[in-house]
């Protein structure tokens, strides 16, 4: 049986890990964007998701860290930091699993459903994924803190749901919608794994 001191130490360790991984993720996005900007967007063209191109299907893993321009990365940075931190607060192992599920579900949907030849980049699929994960986690975990976080996220970022609707030029509704779905699936999947380990 763990003591109160062990619980506090474990919680502090998870928070430090969440801060660290969030800072690293943002630093990676910004570092890549600086290089991309200096190279006039070549990285986005070469490593974005090019719909229906078999040679670029693995770019589902690089596209979330690329952005079209500085406005794009600035718009994504704050929600990525907040939602990423909250998603990482349950531990780094679970966060990596959640992120991979979101990246694969969101990225493959873009690859299959976007207009042929179009190139998609940006962290918004991850952002919608973390949003969906945090909402669903409140329902599937049945912990008071998760429910409070889900409610707060819904209040603060609920208008994001309009981003899953098609029709806005230059916006990948596929990445948004399937990122959201991927996040909800990740909440269920990571819960089921935790139950199986008990």
* DSSP per-residue codes, 91-138: -HHHHHHHHHHHHHHHHHHHHHHSPTT-EE--THHHHHHHHHHHHHHH
pLDDT confidence of residue 6 = 65
Arithmetic mean of pLDDT over the chain: 90
Measured between alpha carbons, how far is 110 from 174 in angstroms, rounded to an integer?
A: 6
* Domains of the chain: residue spans and CATH: 4-197 (1.20.1540.10)
Q: Residue 193 above 70 pLDDT?
A: no
Q: What is the pLDDT of residues 31-80, one digit of tens each?
A: 999 999 999 889 999 999 999 999 989 999 999 999 999 999 999 999 99
Q: Residue 118 above 90 pLDDT?
A: yes
Spatial contact of 140 and 188, defined as CB atoms under 8 Å apart: yes
Is residue 194 very low, low, confident or very high in pLDDT (cuts 50, 70, 90)? very low
Q: Residue 168 above 90 pLDDT?
A: no
Spatial contact of 102 and 186, defined as CB atoms under 8 Å apart: yes
Give pTM, 2 decimals: 0.90
Structure tokens that stand for 82 in this block: 């907040």
Spatial contact of 138 and 147, defined as CB atoms under 8 Å apart: yes
pLDDT confidence of residue 2 = 59
Measured between alpha carbons, how far is 179 from 128 in angstroms, rounded to an integer?
A: 5
Task: Please list, residue by residue across 107-131, b when 16 or more beta carbons sit within 10 angstroms of its beta carbon and e when fewer do.
Answer: bbbbbebbeeeebbbbbbbbbbbbb
Spatial contact of 179 and 127, defined as CB atoms under 8 Å apart: yes
Spatial contact of 127 and 85, defined as CB atoms under 8 Å apart: no
């Amino acid at each position: 049986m763990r003591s109160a001191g062990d619980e506090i130490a474990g919680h502090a360790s998870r928070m430090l890990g969440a801060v660290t991984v969030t800072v690293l993720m943002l630093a990676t996005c910004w570092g890549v964007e600086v290089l991309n900007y200096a190279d006039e967007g070549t990285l986005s063209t070469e490593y974005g998701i090019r719909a229906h191109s078999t040679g670029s299907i693995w770019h589902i893993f690089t596209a979330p860290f690329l952005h079209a321009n500085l406005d794009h990365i600035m718009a994504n940075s704050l929600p990525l930091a907040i939602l990423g931190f909250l998603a990482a607060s349950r531990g780094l192992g679970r966060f990596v699993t959640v992120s991979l599920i979101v990246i694969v579900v969101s990225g493959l949907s873009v690859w299959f459903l976007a207009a042929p030849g179009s190139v998609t980049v940006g962290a918004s699929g991850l952002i919608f994924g973390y949003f969906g994960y945090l909402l669903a986690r409140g329902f599937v975990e049945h912990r008071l803190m998760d429910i409070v976080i889900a409610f707060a996220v819904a209040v603060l970022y609920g208008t994001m749901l309009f981003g899953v609707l098609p029709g806005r030029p230059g916006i990948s509704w596929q990445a948004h919608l399937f990122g959201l779905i991927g996040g909800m699936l990740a909440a269920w999947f990571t819960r089921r794994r935790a139950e199986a380990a008990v």
